[in-house]
């Protein structure tokens, strides 16, 4: 929903915040590993010395243990202040979900649909769609541009772009024909026991079997025409 509604914080999109989070966390982890490697002899010598002399449990260590344990227990039992923090998180998410729901996407991750797929799913001719968008000041360089790419190019959200399209074609309804977001074929295997039955006068005999199978895959959105 964040991608569909064009969510931003301090001018940064969700993908950008994810990149910042992962990059900073990785830098912190690498810094910690490098620090341990650089000072390992000193650290190991300190640990051995403290072990021989017995650990001197200062109040700072005790306070750190108490605070850490209290935070973990608050998260486990969902009590303040952790529960309050999680409530704020839920409210922020709910706000953006309500905003995105004002123009719901036709399928999950609809921003990844190309204009060609979107036109097919709405039963609109691609030429009619690009012509109408041009009238609205939205220039299409290629029908294989995604909604997200086209929206970013014109500084609007995929949701607002889709709203303009559906407003321009009020008779259009999402059918999903010819449009899909399938990521790959399903992977499956089946196991079963077959029973042979032969019809008189026929060679070779036919086989009929009862079996159970399971299949797992990422389904495309809509039923595409072959």
Whether residue 162 has pLDDT greater than 50: yes
Residues 46-105 pLDDT 10s: 777 766 665 566 777 788 889 999 999 999 999 999 999 999 988 887 877 777 667 788
pLDDT bracket for residue 183 (50, 70, 90): very low
Rounded CA separation 50/109 (Å): 56
Whether residue 165 has pLDDT greater than 50: yes
Structure tokens at 165: 């399209």
Residues 26-35 pLDDT 10s: 999 999 999 9
pLDDT bracket for residue 133 (50, 70, 90): very high
What is the model's pTM?
0.51
CA nearest 140: which of 173, 164, 171?
Answer: 164
Whether residue 8 has pLDDT greater than 90: no
Whether residue 192 has pLDDT greater than 80: no
User: Among 133-142, 148-157, 191-200, which is the least confidently predicted range?
Assistant: 191-200
Whether residue 181 has pLDDT greater than 70: no
In our burial notation (b when 16+ CB lie closer than 10 A, e otherwise), range 94-105 reads eebeebbeebeb
Rounded CA separation 8/31 (Å): 29
Whether residue 201 has pLDDT greater than 70: no
Residue 27 has a pLDDT of 96
Rounded CA separation 176/184 (Å): 18
Whether residue 9 has pLDDT greater than 90: no
pLDDT bracket for residue 44 (50, 70, 90): confident
């Amino acid at each position: 929903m964040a991608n569909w509604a064009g969510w931003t914080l301090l001018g940064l999109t969700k993908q950008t915040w994810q990149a910042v989070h992962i990059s900073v966390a990785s830098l912190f982890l690498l810094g910690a590993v490098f620090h341990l490697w650089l000072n390992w002899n000193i650290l190991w010598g300190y640990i051995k010395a403290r072990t021989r002399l017995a650990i001197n449990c200062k109040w700072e260590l005790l306070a750190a243990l108490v605070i850490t344990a209290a935070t973990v227990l608050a998260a486990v039992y969902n009590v303040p202040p952790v529960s309050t923090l999680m409530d704020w998180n839920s409210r922020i998410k709910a706000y953006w979900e309500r905003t995105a729901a004002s123009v719901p996407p036709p399928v999950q991750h609809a921003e990844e649909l190309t204009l060609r797929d979107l036109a097919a799913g709405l039963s609109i001719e691609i030429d009619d769609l690009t012509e109408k968008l041009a009238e609205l000041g939205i220039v299409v360089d290629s029908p294989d541009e995604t909604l997200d790419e086209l929206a970013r190019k014109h500084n609007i959200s995929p949701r607002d772009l889709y709203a303009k399209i559906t407003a321009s074609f009020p008779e259009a309804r999402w059918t999903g024909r010819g449009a899909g977001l399938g990521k790959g074929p399903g992977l499956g295997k089946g196991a079963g026991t077959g029973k042979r039955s032969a019809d008189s006068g026929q060679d070779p005999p036919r086989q009929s079997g009862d079996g159970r199978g399971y299949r797992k895959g990422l389904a495309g959105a809509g039923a595409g025409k072959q």
